[in-house]
Structure 1
């Protein structure tokens, strides 16, 4: 077979593990048709003497049969599975070993073909059965307040999910559902009118919006006359009075500029659609819900119960006639389904909001807005960021850590780390700045994403800036090292393409084979992350690639030099593996939102 021109069967587009799982599930279904709901676990083998993969289905099947009064030991179960297994050119051989494992060896030729395909065609995503329109709702800071560490996880996790789904080929809408409407704008506008009465003709110098917010909030809480003025401003704003709309826009624009500075630093692309965006839709939605009898009166409020009548209701209209977060979230899901034509909606917020989104979905379903057979809705919850004292991450004075200050501190520490290694003596200023940013922002992102998102995690610059272990710094150094190997050898892509086209890759060492097996698991890893929307699986995988490459490079020469340091021999097959490794690491880091640099 000509390298790089793979037919559909050998390409195994959905991954080797996916392929093996499919054929073993089929074998189990044929061998034991009466056994249902039994998992057929297939996983990479941890020891090469036990094959490349293992199927461990025999023991649970034996136990299930035993519960039915049928005694068949696991070894016989495994043998029967093997009898019905339809092997192909992917599977080289399968052995049954005690107490009932099925050890699987896969074809080296097929795996090499996948490496050649990677070089010739680039890293390709698994094929899609259907392109979906996906709305990812993430970040969501509040206007007039600075972004703080509480926004960090939603912003980082949401961006990576978007990158993952975009790589897969889905149409992704990155939505920033900012808090830009409601009572707080009444007090902000009232304060603005008094402090800068000429705001309509002269732009007010509101540079520190956080202080401006605190001043207005203090007055709102302590001055009843000011509170009345604030409520009057809310009514004017809700009626879209031009004078008050201008005041509102002035305040929002100051916030937007500050948010965008953070997004630019973190390479975040996001489209703002705040609560105000749905104002007109909320009016129409409430009218429709009331007409159809979905709203109930409760102490002056209008509430809606979902399909579970005993659940917490949504407050659709407050006693003063105003709308709530519940109203805007229900209007948002309606807009996303009816106007954006979303078939997959993902909310990325802290785990504490899980109940809220469950009720939103239930009410949307009851109102006929959401059809779960057509639209998938997922809440991607996460834990909180803790300080090293294992308490909620705060400044020494007890205030919430501002995101801007956190990023500045990351840059400072990253520069210190590079200078400790004397990198400033060999890098240009431009290279040093690029490396500093890649490390600072990369380590903050990776420290978050490498933990299971459901759990809280401890924020520690010292830990995340370590250049050993599963950290962004280690991975960035590993990547630059591999790139320098290829660069120093003077190899260009045309030469590597020629090696791939000729199929010139001899596996002469077990570390080469181990590296190849890890690299060809990329597709299966991507499918696993898409299924779970848990990025730590991708972090574990890219770390495994880096450590496996290190093992390979320690014992497998790629370049031979004489005593004068001159290159006398290059192993082009191994250089091919270097390039394939670098590309795979780069793609993984790109999905994680981490910049790579070629010199560090």
Structure 2
């Protein structure tokens, strides 16, 4: 069998040749001297339309992914069943109605078992398309014609037409069983990636000399999880921390450093509390005119890169980095720092480029740029000749597009910055740096963190909540919860500490990620540490219970691996079937998140998987014991394999969310 991608390309070339040939024949028939009958012309036009439609389908499938139909069943990659069904129904719709351009393709998992496993709901929308063209076609009639044109395939057992034109799809159990066996033998593998793309994610981004607070929590957690998703899928990911490490506040901090620690060039100053140091310098800046003037002079000398001032700047940055790193170590976050200072030398060229294209206007001494379609301008040069956040963000996006050669750029900041990024993106498109049809540049905004009083999350004194204090409080409450459940009596001190950290940091992350990032969410330790409902505590406990089943049966990893290669995963019981299908929805969940960057979908899936597993475990005996002695007398190995497949998918889901499960809790 040849390479499926090559075969698809050769079919594409062949059909393009046929279209050219037919188009030439049509043109010759249009010649008034030609006496060929009109019927022949109509026949050729219809054939040409069909070919063009098939050509578009081929092109689209090549852009999106390798032809799924050509993927062998024993491929290590997990099959996206929904995507496979879309290819099958897309072909059937094209064959049944070649005259419809871009017909709707709606394939979704069924909500109830009586309606099959998946549904194709395209017929109603197609009926509306015909109606718009002045033709009346019954949706049920459309559904019947689509079903008649379904090609032979390995996935569909049968179809039924219900209601006004829903096509209910029943999957072949033998094929689903085979997919589960592949997962067990090869592990949880990503779906095939048509092209390795470069992804830049800009997240976390605290300000130097200021402590990370709860406002940075969302950007850090959400950005890290997006990176983990793209990394698992096989993309080349650059994790960037665009810290605020340049600007006026550094003049103020350096002037204060010179006064408080005059020998800072010789002896490293003991600035342990940088927040207090910042507040002191800000108070002087606001109240002392001489200090303020000196602070501005320090900014100029820093921007001129005088060595003594660069050293002072580095000292302040290093103290901040150590504090940030404490937070990143707790949350297991990996980042490459490229602050505003990184882009300083690029900003002059960016301003020149905009001036050269005639996009810069003067406004009361400022240089501003109005991007196409935007009412607010970007200020690229201030009246004093300095640069702004707008300038550094333009330099940053240019660097990411041209130097990093990014195919996808994602900015993870609060939704309040949406309008700023909208203008930056519009300016980058206007100057020709990227085409949104080719390069994906997106602001993934998020809502604010609220306290239980539904107001912005603050301390009792009204201060912003320090992120380190929040994490330490999480650790304390996690340990209290574990001791309430008397886990300290059954776990070793090392196991107890691992469980404490897994629960504390896992619950904080999950509480954030399980909410739609666009909305505000209420921060509550009591809710996130509850081991009932859709929480990390519940899922972590569920995961350890699943892993304990094999230990109870004295089955080690080697035995499970061998069983995966030799034992058929039976799906005869309705709960086995429900669990098997749920496990295999993992690739389509990841595809959805890749498209919309909404990670709560993964949390909802993991919760559904855990509850579906509980239904299965309550109804289907994995291990049978002697009622008198309690000894294991029988192990139903295919069910043990379903336990293993569930745990494997849950573990990968946890990994994408940045949560570390433990084997004992």
The interval holding the TM-score normalised by the smaller chain is over 0.9
Task: Please give the alpha-carbon distance, in whole angstroms, between the structure 2 residues aligned to 1:575 and 1:378.
Answer: 43
The aligned counterpart of 1:441 is 505
Kept in 2: contact 1:126–1:527 (CA 8 A): no
Query: What CA distance in whole angstroms lies between the structure 2 residues aligned with 1:282 and 1:455?
Result: 34
Larger deviation, residues 261-270 vs 382-391: 382-391
Asked if structure 1 preserves the Cα contact closer than 8 Å seen for 2:517 and 2:598, the reply is yes
Equivalence for 2:417: 353
Alignment of 1:168-179 (within 5 A): 168-179=233-244
3-state SS of the aligned residue for 1:320?
coil
Match of 1:160 among 225, 228, 233: 225
Name the structure 1 match of 2:192.
127
- Residues 29-38 or 588-597, more deviating: 29-38
Confirm whether residue 260 of structure 1 aligns to residue 325 of structure 2: yes
Which moves more between the two structures, 536-545 or 156-165?
A: 536-545
Q: CA RMSD in A?
A: 1.6
Residue equivalent to 2:11: none
Is 369-378 or 483-492 further displaced after alignment?
Answer: 369-378
Mapping 1:292-331, distance limit 5 Å: 292-308=357-373, 310-331=374-395
The match for 1:398 among 422, 446, 462 is 462
- When structure 1 is superposed on structure 2, of 424-433 and 91-100 the one drifting more is 91-100
State the distance in 1 between where 2:150 and 2:356 align.
60
Is residue 248 from structure 1 mapped to residue 308 from structure 2 by the alignment? no
Q: Distance in 1 between matches of 2:433 and 2:70?
A: 43
Can you list the C-alpha shifts for 1:534-567, whole angstroms capped at 9, x where unaligned? Answer: 1111111111110000000001111111121211
- State the Cα distance separating 1:77 from its structure 2 match: 2.2
Q: Retained in 1: the 8 A contact 2:201–2:410?
A: yes
Give the deviation of 1:479 after TM superposition.
0.5
Structure 1 match to 2:429? 365
Written as runs of structure 1 = structure 2, the 5 A alignment for 1:541-560 is: 541-560=605-624
5 Å matches for 1:30-109? 30-109=95-174
Distance, in Å, in 2 between the alignment partners of 1:431 and 1:503 is 34
Residue range with higher mean Cα deviation, 574-583 or 47-56: 47-56
Deviation at 1:236, TM superposition (A): 0.2
SS of corresponding position for 2:445: strand
Q: Secondary structure at the match of 2:502?
A: helix
- Following TM superposition, by how much is the alpha carbon of 1:460 offset from its aligned partner in structure 2, in angstroms? 1.0
Residue matched to 1:203: 268
Q: Tell me the residue number matched to 1:3.
A: none
Give the 3-state SS of the residue equivalent to 1:124 in structure 2.
coil
Q: Which residue of 1 aligns with 2:550?
A: 486
User: Normalising by structure 2, what TM-score?
Assistant: 0.87
1:29 aligns with 2:94: yes
CA displacement, residues 313-372 of structure 1 (integer Å, 9 cap, x when unaligned): 111111111111111111111111221121211111111211111211222223333343
Aligned pair 1:8/2:71, yes or no?
A: yes
Alignment of 1:381-392 (within 5 A): 381-392=445-456
| 1:290–1:74 Cα change, 3 Å | closer
Offset from partner CA, 1:181-204 (integer Å, 9 cap, x none): 000000000111111111111111
Runs of 4+ with >6 A deviation: none
> Taking structure 1 as reference, are residues 68 and 334 closer, same or farther at Cα in structure 2, changes over 3 Å only?
closer
SS in 2 for 1:599: coil
Q: The residue matched to 1:174 in structure 2 has which SS?
A: strand
CA distance in 2, matches of 1:436, 1:390: 28
1:380 paired with 2:444, answer yes
Instruction: Name whichever of 214-223 and 547-556 sits farther off.
Output: 214-223
- Structure of greater Rg: 2
- Please give the alpha-carbon distance, in whole angstroms, between the structure 2 residues aligned to 1:437 and 1:278: 37
**Partner secondary structure for residue 200 of structure 2:** strand
Q: Which residue of 1 aligns with 2:661?
A: 596
Does the residue aligned with 2:244 lie in a helix, a strand or coil?
Answer: coil
RCO comparison, higher one (Cα < 8 Å, 6+): 1
3-state SS in 2 of match to 1:381: coil
Partner SS for 2:412: strand
Tell me by how many angstroms 1:36 deviates.
Answer: 4.2
On the 8 A contact 1:361/1:370 being kept in 2, the answer is: no
Distance 1:13 1:428, change over 3 A: closer
TM, length-normalised to structure 1:
0.96
What is the CA–CA distance in structure 2 between the aligned matches of 1:139 and 1:250, rounded to whole Å? 21
Aligned residues: 594
**SS of equivalent residue, structure 1 residue 316:** strand
- What SS does the aligned partner of 2:423 have? helix
Partner of 2:403: 339
Query: Is 1:149–2:219 an aligned residue pair?
Result: no
Displacement of 1:473 after TM fit? 0.5
Structure 2 partner of 1:572 = 637
- 2:353 is the alignment partner of 1:278: no
Q: Secondary structure at the match of 2:516?
A: coil
Specify every segment of 5 or more residues in structure 2 that has no aligned partner in the other structure, as ranges. Answer: 1-68
- Please give the per-residue CA displacement for 1:379-410, whole angstroms capped at 9, x wherever unaligned: 11111111111111111111111111111111
